[in-house]
C-alpha cells in the first residue's frame, strides 16, 4: 500500500527526521520504505556490500519506540564493523565471518532506536584513502563518477551524501573519516581516540583506530556521537569521556602559511582554502599562520615509520596465507616493506614524542587548526595508474591527527569550477569534540554550501554543550583584563561570549573591597539596560574549585541572561549594597571604571 506521507523531497538529517516524527509529518515506516526505494534507484552499485532485508528493517521501524534518542533514524556501517545478523568482510570476501554480536557502537545505536540499513564498501582492511581497493567495486564521487569518493570509508560517505541514510559509521586511522567527507560535501567527525569503543571493529592500526561518523551536519554528527560514546571495559583502548572547552566567541585558529600551502598544483582548491580562511575570519575568529613542520614530520611516521608493522599485526597473517585473494596494493603495503625491528619501534616512539613537544608550542598560540582536508582529488583511472603515491598525497593534512591524539571535524568548504567538492578540517587537542562540533557547525553554515549531493540546506541548529562543562557569567573583577580574571584562566576556562544580563538586575560598586568589586542584585519589576557580562566555560571540577574561592558577600547563583538563558553567575548578598553606589546606568563594571 502506498504511504500517505510525501517522501519525495525527504530530508534525512538526523535532527530533521526527529522533528518530523515529533510533528507527525513522517513515520519511521514511511522513511525506511523511501530509503530502500532510493537504494533501488541508486546509480552506484559499489556502495553496499550487504543490506538488511527491507522486510526486517520495516518490522523494526514499526516496532521502534518513538521516545528513543534515535528512533527510526536509518544508518549504515562500514563493513569492518560487526553487526549482528550481517557478515563482516572488511572488503575481502574470503575473510568473511558472521559475528556472534555487534560492535559496541553499533549495538548502542540499535538500542537507541536507529535502524541499520546495511554494510558499506571500503578500501580492503581499511588500508587506503582512495576508495578503489575493493573487489566489490569503487564507490564514485557523488558529483562526478569519474572521480574517487575517497577512502577507506568510501561507501559510508557516499551513502550519506547520496541521501540513502541519515548517517553512517566509518573508521579513521589516517584520514578515512575525513577525506571521503570532503569529496562528497558532507561532515566527517573524527572523535578523540578511545572516545568511541573499537570493540567489534576489524583493526587497521589498533593503537590509532577511531570509529568515525559521517552526517549531513555537525549537529547531526554530534547527536550521534553523544549516543555511541562511552567507556567500554572490553576495549583496552577505550577512555572515559570528558570534555575540554575551546573558546567559541573568538577562537585563535591556526592556518597554513603561504609557503606551506601545497595543493599539488590545484589552483581551484587553493583558492577555496583561502576563501574558507576568510570566512572563518568573518566569524570573528583570530587567524594565525602556524609552523606546520612538526605536524608534517609526525605524519611521515605513519607510513615511513614502524606503525606500518601494526597493520601487519592486525591482518598480516591472514593476507600472507591468502595473498592471491587480497587486493595487491593492500597486500604490498602490509607485507612487502622492510620489517621494522623492536629497536625501530622504540625509535619511532621517541621521534613521535619529539614531534609532539614541537607541536605543543603551536598549541600555546592557537585553539584549533583550520587545514585543507585533502589537497586535491583524483580520477579513478589516475589512482589505478599510481595507487600508492597518489594515496599518500591525499593524507598530507590528515595522517598526523591520530598519531598526535587530536580530535577533528571535516566540513564542506566549496566547489571547484569543475563541480568537485572541497573540504576543510578543524583540528584541536583530545576531548575538544563538543566544542569542535559547535565551531564546525558555525563554519559550515557561514560557507553556505548545503550538504551532500543535493546540497541540502543546513539549518541554524544549536549544538548541545558537553554535559560536564559549566558556563559561568561574570560581571566584575573576573572580566577579561581585570585583576581576578586569572582565577578563571588558570583553571582552563575559556571565554564563550560577551552578552548582557536580563533587564531586572542592578549593579553596585561595593565599598571596601580589594580589589574593587561590584555586586549584582536582582530587582524584580525593575527595567534597566541589562549589565554587561562575559560567559566563561570550564569543567565541573574547575568550577567546583573556583566556587571555593568566592568570598562573601559575593556568591555563585543562577543568573538570567538577556536572551532568556539561565547560567551560573555572580550574585551579591542584598545587605552588602547598603554602602555601595548604584552604577546600573553605566551598563557594566568596565564602563564604570573607565568612565565611558
Per-residue pLDDT at 524? 92
Of 544, 536, 532, nearest to 584 by C-alpha is 532
Which run of H or of E encompasses 291? none
CA distance 361 to 352: 15
Q: Residue 354: how many CB atoms within 10 A of its CB?
A: 13
SS3 category, 436:
helix
Characterize 159-183 residue by residue with b for buried, 16 or more Cβ atoms within 10 angstroms of its Cβ, and e for exposed.
bbbbbbbbbbbbbbbbbbbbbbbbb
SS3 category, 586:
helix
Per-residue pLDDT at 7? 54
Per-residue pLDDT at 461? 54
Per-residue pLDDT at 1? 36
Q: Are 580 and 574 in contact (CB under 8 A)?
A: no
CA distance 432 to 242: 9
- What positions carry a catalytic annotation? 78, 152, 176
Cβ neighbours of residue 361 under 8 Å, at least 6 residues apart? none
Per-residue pLDDT at 244? 85
All structural domains of the chain:
14-447 (3.90.1300.10), 469-594 (3.10.490.10)
Q: Are 113 and 72 in contact (CB under 8 A)?
A: yes
Q: Are 443 and 373 in contact (CB under 8 A)?
A: no
SS3 category, 107:
helix
CA distance 457 to 11: 10
Q: In what order do the strands lie in the sheet with 554-560?
A: 494-500, 532-539, 469-474, 566-572, 554-560
Q: Are 157 and 168 in contact (CB under 8 A)?
A: yes
Q: Are 194 and 433 in contact (CB under 8 A)?
A: no
Per-residue pLDDT at 466? 53
Cell of residue 478, nine digits: 573576573
CA distance 503 to 524: 9
Full DSSP string of 493-518 = -EEEEEEEB-TTEEEEE-TT-SS--E
Q: Are 254 and 290 in contact (CB under 8 A)?
A: yes
Per-residue pLDDT at 303? 85
CA distance 504 to 584: 10
Q: Are 31 and 39 in contact (CB under 8 A)?
A: no
Q: Are 44 and 119 in contact (CB under 8 A)?
A: no
Per-residue pLDDT at 460? 64
pLDDT in tens, the chain (596 residues): 334 555 557 899 998 999 899 899 999 999 999 999 999 999 999 999 999 999 999 999 999 988 888 999 999 999 999 999 999 999 999 999 999 999 999 999 999 999 999 999 999 999 999 999 999 999 999 999 999 999 999 999 999 999 999 999 999 999 999 999 999 999 999 999 999 999 999 999 999 999 999 999 999 999 999 899 988 999 999 998 877 888 888 899 999 999 999 999 999 999 999 999 999 999 999 999 999 999 999 999 998 888 889 999 999 999 999 999 999 999 999 998 778 889 999 999 999 999 999 999 999 999 999 999 999 999 999 999 999 999 999 999 999 999 999 999 999 999 999 999 999 999 999 999 999 999 999 999 999 899 999 999 887 655 455 556 788 999 999 998 899 998 998 887 878 788 899 999 999 999 989 999 999 999 999 999 999 999 998 888 889 999 988 999 999 999 999 888 889 999 898 888 888 999 999 999 999 998 76
Q: Are 5 and 26 in contact (CB under 8 A)?
A: yes
The secondary structure of residue 10, as a DSSP letter, is -
Cβ neighbours of residue 554 under 8 Å, at least 6 residues apart? 517, 519, 570, 571, 572, 573
What is this structure's pTM? 0.81
Amino acid at each position: 500500500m502506498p504511504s500517505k506521507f510525501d517522501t519525495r523531497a525527504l530530508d534525512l538529517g538526523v535532527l530533521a527526521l526527529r522533528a518530523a516524527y515529533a510533528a507527525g509529518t513522517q513515520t519511521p515506516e514511511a522513511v525506511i520504505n523511501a530509503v530502500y526505494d532510493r537504494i533501488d534507484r541508486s546509480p552506484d552499485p559499489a556502495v553496499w556490500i550487504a543490506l538488511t532485508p527491507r522486510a526486517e528493517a520495516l518490522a523494526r521501524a514499526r516496532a521502534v519506540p518513538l521516545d528513543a534518542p534515535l528512533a527510526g533514524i536509518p544508518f549504515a556501517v562500514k563493513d569492518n564493523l560487526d553487526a549482528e545478523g550481517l557478515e563482516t568482510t572488511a572488503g575481502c570476501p574470503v575473510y568473511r565471518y558472521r559475528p556472534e554480536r555487534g560492535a559496541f557502537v553499533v549495538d548502542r545505536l540499535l538500542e537507541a532506536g536507529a535502524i541499520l540499513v546495511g554494510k558499506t564498501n571500503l578500501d580492503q582492511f581499511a588500508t587506503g584513502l582512495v576508495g578503489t581497493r575493493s573487489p566489490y567495486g569503487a564507490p564514485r564521487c557523488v558529483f562526478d563518477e569519474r572521480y574517487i569518493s575517497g577512502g577507506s570509508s568510501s561507501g559510508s560517505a557516499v551513502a550519506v551524501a547520496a541521501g540513502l541514510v541519515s548517517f553512517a559509521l566509518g573508521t579513521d586511522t589516517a584520514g578515512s573519516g575525513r577525506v571521503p567527507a570532503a569529496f562528497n560535501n558532507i561532515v566527517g567527525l573524527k572523535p578523540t581516540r578511545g572516545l568511541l569503543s573499537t570493540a567489534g571493529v576489524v583493526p587497521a592500526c589498533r593503537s590509532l583506530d577511531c570509529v568515525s561518523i559521517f552526517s549531513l551536519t555537525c549537529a547531526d554528527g554530534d547527536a550521534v556521537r553523544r549516543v555511541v560514546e562511552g567507556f567500554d571495559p572490553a576495549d583496552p583502548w577505550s577512555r572515559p569521556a570528558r570534555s575540554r572547552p575551546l573558546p567559541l566567541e573568538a577562537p585563535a585558529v591556526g592556518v597554513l602559511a603561504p609557503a606551506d600551502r601545497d595543493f599539488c598544483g590545484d589552483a581551484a582548491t587553493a583558492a577555496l582554502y583561502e576563501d574558507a580562511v576568510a570566512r572563518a575570519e568573518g566569524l570573528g575568529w583570530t587567524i594565525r599562520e602556524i609552523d606546520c613542520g612538526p605536524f608534517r614530520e609526525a605524519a611521515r611516521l605513519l607510513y615511513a615509520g614502524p606503525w606500518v608493522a601494526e597493520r601487519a599485526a592486525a591482518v598480516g597473517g591472514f593476507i600472507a596465507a591468502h595473498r592471491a585473494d587480497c587486493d595487491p596494493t593492500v597486500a604490498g603495503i602490509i607485507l612487502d616493506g622492510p620489517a621494522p625491528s623492536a629497536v625501530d619501534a622504540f625509535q619511532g616512539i621517541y621521534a613521535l614524542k619529539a614531534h609532539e613537544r614541537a607541536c605543543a608550542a603551536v598549541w600555546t598560540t592557537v585553539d584549533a587548526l583550520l587545514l585543507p582536508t585533502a589537497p586535491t582529488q583524483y580520477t579513478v583511472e589516475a589512482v589505478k595508474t599510481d595507487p600508492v603515491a597518489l594515496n599518500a598525497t591525499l593524507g598530507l593534512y590528515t595522517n598526523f591527527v591520530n598519531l598526535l591524539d587530536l580530535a577533528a571535524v571535516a566540513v564542506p568548504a566549496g566547489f571547484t569550477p569543475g563541480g568537485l567538492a572541497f573540504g576543510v578540517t578543524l583540528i584541536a587537542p583530545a576531548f575538544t569534540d563538543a566544542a569542535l562540533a559547535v565551531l564546525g557547525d558555525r563554519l559550515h553554515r557561514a560557507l553556505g554550501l548545503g550538504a551532500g549531493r543535493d546540497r541540502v540546506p543546513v539549518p541554524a541548529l544549536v549544538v548541545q554543550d558537553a554535559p560536564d562543562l559549566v558556563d559561568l557569567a561574570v560581571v566584575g573583577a573576573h572580566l577579561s583584563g581585570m585583576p581576578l580574571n586569572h582565577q578563571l584562566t588558570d583553571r582552563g576556562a575559556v571565554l564563550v561570549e560577551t552578552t548582557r544580563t536580563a533587564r531586572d538586575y542592578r549593579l553596585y560598586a561595593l565599598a571596601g573591597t580589594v580589589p574593587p568589586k561590584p555586586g549584582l542584585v536582582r530587582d524584580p519589576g525593575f527595567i534597566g539596560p541589562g549589565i554587561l557580562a562575559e560567559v566563561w566555560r570550564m569543567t565541573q571540577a574547575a568550577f567546583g574549585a573556583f566556587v571555593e574561592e568566592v568570598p562573601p558577600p559575593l556568591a555563585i547563583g543562577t543568573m538570567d541572561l538577556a536572551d532568556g538563558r539561565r547560567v551560573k553567575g555572580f550574585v551579591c548578598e542584598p545587605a552588602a549594597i547598603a554602602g555601595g553606589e548604584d552604577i546600573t546606568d553605566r551598563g557594566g563594571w568596565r564602563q564604570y571604571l573607565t568612565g565611558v
